[in-house]
């Protein structure tokens, strides 16, 4: 509430009027003494009234500032909150995937109740327009890796994902009311989000694939995870051999070469962002054989 100056003046006059009435009623003191004490009392009372108005009544500007701060705090809390909870997937990964990316498929089969519960939650909670790009991307990456494991478990034991007939074209992934293949999820959804580093996070259950990360992807940690996984993939000599004047790369860079070229930068520019070795523009390039054996 904003108190105008005229309102304060009215309070002062009202207080002075009350003080005058007290003077007439007093009979035990001399007129001079009464006037001095009442004048002092009047000033004290007026000061108390004015101080109360100033202290207890925030200005319109202060009110707007408080409301703005509260709105920012609420918005910040909403931003930090993950729309979809991937904790169950994170626990399963921690339990059944080593730091090197080796998968204990028998362990996943033993925990099929929890695993199927997570898949069900993915199926019943498709991304919404209100989700951020990172939330949506993390969700679909978890979908791809989790349903790849389901595909292996449905056919286990096998020596390679390629032992399955048309593994990437099998329409077995239900999200909301739609059915998808692994190819649909990767090529029609994830790759269209213009993030080339997804190629070091999506796993095709093979030895030469990037290792299966033993943590669930979340919007909060996505950038840090991309950097970690990209650097780790490039520094793994079983997948890439990088020297200043010669590079032997994973065939991932051959199959998806166009994804690593953007804004005038080429593949070498991309590699140099994450490699410990600075590669020459004239470096000789070749590709390593791809091992499709199961990543267990």
Q: What is the pTM of this model?
A: 0.74
Quote the number of domains for the chain. Answer: 2
Q: Is 156 a member of any domain? A: yes
Do 62 and 87 belong together in one domain? no
Q: How confident is the model at residue 82 (pLDDT cuts 50, 70, 90)?
A: confident
Q: Which DSSP string do the residues of 105-137 spell out, in sequence order?
A: HHHHHHTHHHHHHHHHHHHH----TTS-HHHHH
Give the domain extent around 131. Answer: 83-287
Please say which residue of 19, 53, 78 terminates a domain.
Answer: 78
Decide if pLDDT at 102 tops 50.
yes
The CA distance from 122 to 150, in Å, is 13
The residue ranking higher by pLDDT, 239 or 17, is 239
Q: Which residue has the higher pLDDT, 110 or 70?
A: 110
Answer whether residue 140 is part of any domain: yes
Q: Are residues 74 and 87 in the same domain?
A: no
């Amino acid at each position: 509430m904003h108190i105008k100056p005229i309102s304060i003046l009215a309070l002062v006059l009202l207080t002075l009027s009350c003080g005058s009435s007290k003077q007439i009623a007093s009979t035990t003191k001399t007129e001079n003494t009464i006037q001095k004490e009442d004048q002092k009392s009047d000033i004290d009372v007026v000061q108390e009234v004015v101080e109360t108005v100033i202290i207890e009544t925030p200005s319109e500007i202060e009110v707007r500032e408080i409301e703005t701060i509260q709105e920012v705090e609420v918005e910040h809390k909403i931003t930090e909150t993950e729309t979809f909870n991937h904790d169950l997937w994170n626990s399963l990964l921690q339990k059944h995937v080593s730091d090197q990316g080796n998968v204990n498929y028998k362990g996943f089969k033993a925990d099929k109740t929890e695993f199927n519960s997570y898949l069900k939650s993915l199926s019943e909670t498709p991304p919404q327009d209100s989700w951020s790009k990172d939330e949506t991307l993390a969700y679909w990456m978890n979908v791809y890796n989790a349903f790849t494991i389901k595909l292996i478990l449905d056919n286990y034991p096998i020596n390679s994902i390629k032992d399955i007939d048309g593994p990437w074209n099998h329409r077995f992934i239900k999200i909301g009311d739609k059915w998808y293949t692994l190819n649909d999820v990767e090529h029609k959804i994830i790759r269209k989000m213009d993030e080339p580093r997804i190629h070091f996070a999506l796993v095709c259950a093979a030895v030469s694939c990037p290792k299966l990360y033993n943590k669930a992807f979340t919007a909060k940690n996505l950038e840090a995870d991309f950097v970690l996984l990209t650097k780790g993939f490039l520094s793994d000599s079983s997948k890439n051999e990088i020297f200043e004047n010669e590079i032997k790369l994973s065939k991932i860079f051959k199959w998806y070469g166009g994804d690593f070229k953007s804004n005038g930068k080429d593949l070498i520019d991309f590699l140099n962002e994450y490699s410990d070795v600075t590669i020459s523009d004239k470096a000789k390039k070749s590709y390593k054989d791809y091992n499709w054996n199961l990543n267990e």
